[in-house]
Structure 1
Amino acid sequence: MHPGRQLGVLGLVFVVLYLLVFFAGGAKGSFTDRLHPKLGLDLVGGTQATYIASVQGGQVPTKESMEQARSIIENRVNALGVSEAEVVIQGDRNIVVSLAGKADDQLKDLSEAAQMRFRLVIGATGDVASTALNPPTAKPSASASGSAKPSAAASATTGASAPAANPSAATGGQGGGEVMKAPSPSATPTPTPTTTAAAPAPGQQQQVTVAEVEKKIGPAAWAAAQKLTAPVDLSSDPKAGLAYATFSKLTPAEVNVLTPQMQFNVPTISCDQLNARPAGAIDDVNKQATVCYQGGKILMDKAPVVGDDISKASPQLDQQNGQWVVSLDFKSEGSTKWANLTRQAFNATSSDPCYTAATAMYGSIEHCAVAVVLDKKVISAPQIQGVLTGTSQITGQFTAVTAKELADQLNFGALPVTFEAGPAQTVSATLGVQQLRAGLLAAAIGMFLVAVYAFFYYRLLGSVIFLSLILSGLLTFGALVFLGRTVGFTLTLAGIAGFIVSLGVAADSFVIYFERLKDEIHEGRSPRSAVPRAWARARRTIISANTITIMAAVVLYIVSVGAVQGFAFALGLSTVLDLVVVFLFRHPIMTMFANTKAFLSPRVSGLGRVLRRAPTDVKEA
Structure 2
Amino acid sequence: MTSSGAFAPKLGIDLQGGTRVTLVPRGEPDEESMQQATDIIRERVNGLGVSGAEVVLDGSNIVLTVPGEDATAARDLGETSKLTIRPVVQVVPMADPFNFEPTPDTAGDQAAAEKAIEDARAERQGDDQAALQQKLNTWNCPETDLLAGVDNPDQYLLACGDGQKYLLAPQPKVDGAPEGPAGYLDGEKIQRDSVSAGFDQQRGQIQVAFRFNGGPVNASMTWSQLTQEYLNQQVAILMDNEVISAPVIQGVTPPGSQTSITGLDDMDTAQSLASNLRFGALPVSFEEPNVDNVPASLGQASLEAGLLAGAVGLLLILGYSLLYYRVIGLLAFLSLVFAIVLTYGVLVLLGNWIGYTLDLAGVAGVIIGIGMTADSFVVYFERIKDELREGHKFRSAVPRGWKNASRTIVTGNMVSVIGAVVLYVLAIGEVRGFAFTLGLTTIMDILVAFTIMWPLVYLASTKPVFSKNSMNGLGAMEDLRVKAAAEHRSEASRRNTAASEQAATTAGSTPSSQSKGDDA
Return the offset for 1:87. Answer: 3.5
Q: State whether residues 314 and 328 of structure 1, in contact with CA within 8 Å, keep that contact through their aligned partners in structure 2.
A: yes
Equivalent residue, structure 1, for 2:14: 42
Deviation at 1:419, TM superposition (A): 0.8
Which residue number in structure 1 is paired with residue 141 of structure 2? 273
Deviation at 1:392?
Answer: 5.3
Task: Select the residue among 583, 596, 603 that pairs with 2:463.
Answer: 596
Structure 1 residues 132-531: aligned runs within 5 Å: 186=95, 196=101, 198-202=103-107, 204=110, 205-207=113-115, 252-259=120-127, 261=129, 265-268=133-136, 272-273=140-141, 276-281=144-149, 289-293=157-161, 295-300=164-169, 301-302=171-172, 304=174, 305-309=185-189, 310-312=191-193, 315=196, 317=198, 326=208, 328=210, 333=215, 337-345=218-226, 348=228, 352=229, 354-355=230-231, 358-359=232-233, 361=234, 369=235, 371-382=236-247, 383=249, 384-389=251-256, 394=261, 397=264, 401-523=268-390, 525-531=392-398
Counterpart in the other structure of 2:475: 608
User: For residues 447 and 197 of structure 1, do their structure 2 counterparts lie closer, same or farther at Cα, with a shift above 3 Å needed?
Assistant: closer
SS at match of 1:33: coil
* Amino acid across the alignment from 2:106: A
Q: Structure 1 residues 110 and 259, CA, compared in 2 at 3 Å: closer, same or farther?
A: farther
CA distance in 1, matches of 2:346, 2:44: 23
The Cα of 1:329 is off from its aligned counterpart by 6.2
Would you tell me which structure has more helix in proportion to its own residues?
Answer: 2
- Looking at both structures, which has the greater relative contact order when contacts are Cα pairs under 8 Å and sequence separation is at least 6? 1
User: Kindly tell me: are residues 571 and 208 of structure 1, through their superposed partners in 2, closer, same or farther at Cα, counting changes over 3 Å?
Assistant: closer
The answer on whether the counterparts of 1:186 and 1:271 sit within 8 Å (CA) in structure 2 is no
Aligned-partner residue type, residue 373 of structure 1: L
Q: Normalized against structure 1, the TM-score is what?
A: 0.64
In 2, are the aligned partners of 1:342 and 1:386 still within 8 Å (CA)? yes
Deviations 1:441-488 (A, max 9, x none): 443344334333333332222112211221122222223333334422
Select the residue among 90, 98, 103 that pairs with 1:125: 90
Q: Distance in 1 between matches of 2:52 and 2:36?
A: 18
Q: Cα gap change, 1:308/1:547 in structure 2, threshold over 3 Å: closer, same or farther?
A: farther
Equivalent residue, structure 1, for 2:437: 570
Give the match's secondary structure for 1:99: strand
SS of 1:96's partner is: strand
Offset at residue 344 of structure 1 (A) = 0.8
- Compute the displacement of 1:42 (Å): 1.8
Q: Secondary structure in 2 aligned to 1:68?
A: helix
Question: Contact 1:317–1:324 at 8 Å: present in 2 too?
Answer: yes
- Please tell me whether the aligned partners of residues 271 and 297 of structure 1 are also in contact (alpha carbons under 8 angstroms): no
Cα gap change, 1:605 to 1:62, in 2 (>3 Å): same
SS in 2 for 1:54: coil
> Equivalents in 2 of 1:437, 1:267: separation in Å?
63
Give, in angstroms, the shift of residue 271 of structure 1.
6.7
Aligned residues: 463
Cα gap change, 1:277 to 1:101, in 2 (>3 Å): closer
Letter in 1 for 2:10: K
Q: Provide the C-alpha distance between the structure 2 equivalents of 1:76 and 1:323, rounded to a whole number of angstroms.
A: 24
SS class of match (1:437): helix
- Does residue 114 of the first structure (1) align with residue 22 of the second (2)? no
Counterpart AA for 1:302: P
Q: 1:314 to 1:339 in 2, by over 3 A?
A: closer
- Hey, what's the Cα distance between the residues in 1 that align with 2:403 and 2:218? 58
Shift of 1:326: 4.2
Percent pairwise identity: 35
**Structure 1 counterpart SS, 2:288:** strand
Deviations 1:214-247 (A, max 9, x none): xxxxxxxxxxxxxxxxxxxxxxxxxxxxxxxxxx
Q: Distance in 2 between matches of 1:43 and 1:27?
A: 11
Q: Distance in 2 between matches of 1:459 and 1:27?
A: 41
Matches of 2:165 and 2:79, distance apart in 1: 23
Q: Summarize the Cα distance change of 1:469–1:195 in structure 2 as closer, same or farther, 3 Å threshold.
A: closer
Read off the aligned partner of 2:76 and give its amino acid letter: D
C-alpha distance in 2, partners of 1:288/1:507? 70
Structure showing greater radius of gyration is 2
**Superposition deviation, residue 501 in structure 1:** 0.8
Pairwise CA distance, 1:569: 1.8
Letter in 2 for 1:51: L
Distance (Å, rounded) in 1 between the aligned partners of 2:406 and 2:205: 43
Task: Answer whether contact 1:51 1:422 (CA < 8 A) is retained.
Answer: yes
Tell me: CA distance 1:437–1:287, structure 2 relative to 1, closer, same or farther (3 Å).
same
* Contact 1:85–1:98 (CA under 8 A) maintained in structure 2: yes
CA distance in 1, matches of 2:154, 2:403: 67
Q: 1:596 to 1:106 in 2, by over 3 A?
A: same
Q: CA deviation at 1:260?
A: 7.5
Choose from 34, 48, 53 the match for 1:66.
34
Q: What runs of 5+ residues in structure 1 fail to find an aligned partner?
A: 1-25, 128-183, 189-193, 211-250, 362-368, 616-621
